[in-house]
């Protein structure tokens, strides 16, 4: 079914209600009307975004100090001697000797 609206653009209406082969007065062929942005297309665009871009994090000197301490804690070298000394230390429960 061919129709013409007030702006002079001819278009063809599909069975599903979509528009195909829109032609303006100046002879250019459009891709039809833009699709409605759905939740899935937003999620897909977020998941498929470019991951090779540089990320810049700015921190205060205090935040850098805390991050360095946390990093040093997580990546400290642990050997069995330190673990054994910690697990088998003497515990006093308020009794003085």
Q: How many CB atoms within 10 Å of residue 19?
A: 15
- pTM, entire model: 0.33
Q: Rg of the chain's alpha carbons, rounded to an integer?
A: 34
Q: What is the pLDDT of residues 21-51, one digit of tens each?
A: 544 444 444 566 656 888 888 898 889 888 7
In the chain, the N- to C-terminal Cα span, in Å, equals: 101
Q: Evaluate whether 12 touches 20 at the Cβ level (below 8 Å).
A: yes
Q: What is the pLDDT of residues 54-93, one digit of tens each?
A: 888 899 999 999 999 999 999 988 788 888 888 999 888 8
């Amino acid at each position: 079914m061919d129709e013409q609206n007030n702006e002079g653009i001819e278009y063809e209406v599909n069975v599903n209600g979509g528009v195909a082969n829109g032609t303006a007065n100046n002879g250019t062929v459009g891709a039809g009307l833009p699709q409605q942005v759905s939740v899935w297309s937003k999620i897909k665009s977020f998941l498929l975004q470019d991951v090779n871009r540089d990320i810049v994090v700015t921190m205060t000197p205090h935040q850098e100090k805390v991050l360095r301490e946390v990093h040093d804690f997580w990546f400290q070298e642990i050997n069995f001697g330190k673990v054994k000394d910690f697990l088998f230390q003497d515990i006093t429960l308020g009794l003085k000797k």
